[in-house]
Amino acid sequence: MLILGIDPGTATTGYGIIRSSSNLFEVLEFGLITTDKDGTPGKRLENIYLEMTRILKKFSPDVMAIEKLFFAANQGVMIFAAAKYKIEVAEYAPGTIKKEVAGNGRADKKMIQKAIRKVLGAKVRSAAKKKTHFDNAADALAVALCHAYRIRGGDNHG
C-alpha cells in the first residue's frame, strides 16, 4: 500500500510517501511544498494544489493521510486534489499521530523524529542531518506511519 502523509501548513507543507507491506516500511520520497510568503492567499493555495497534483500523479497513492487541523485553509485544497484523483483521505488528530508513532499522545518533535528514524531507516536519518525544515517532512512521514499502523492494528511503536 502506498500512503501519502501530509503535514499541512500555508508557508511550508510537509509530505512523505511510504510503501507499507506487512511490518515493512519503505520511504519513497519526502519533502516540502513551500509558498511565497508575500504571495496572495489565492496564489499560495494554487501553488499547494499544483504541487499536490504533481505528487499524486507521480505516485498514485492508495490513501492520503493528513493531520487534522481546525485552521488550515490549505487542508481543503489538498483534500480536493485527492478527491479529484479518487484517492481515499484519512484524517488524524495530532495526539493520535503522536500516540501511534511514538507511543505517547503528548510526544514532542524530537520523540516523533526518533521514532520515524528507527522505523524508516537510513534514508530518513541521513536527511534529518542535512535538511532545513525537516520537522515538516518528518511530521508528514509520521502521519503516513500513523495510518499504516491504524490499518494494521496491534502494537505499533518499536
Instruction: Give the residue ranges of the annotated binding site for Mg(2+).
Output: 7, 67
- The x, y and z cell numbers of residue 10, run together, are 500555508
On whether the CB atoms of residues 7 and 97 are closer than 8 A, the answer is no
Pairing of strands 24-34, 12-21: antiparallel
Told to judge if 67 belongs to the known catalytic residues of this protein, a careful annotator would answer yes
Any catalytic annotation for residue 7? Answer: yes
Q: CA 21 to CA 69: how far, in whole Å?
A: 28
Catalytic residue among 29, 36, 67, 91: 67
* Calpha distance 33→135 (Å, rounded): 13
- How many whole angstroms separate alpha carbon 59 and alpha carbon 39? 28
Classify 87 as helix, strand or coil: coil
List the binding residues: 7, 67
Q: Taking the mean position of all CA atoms in its chain, how far away is CA 102?
A: 15
For the chain, how far is it from start to end, CA to CA, in angstroms? 20
Which residues belong to the active site? 7, 67
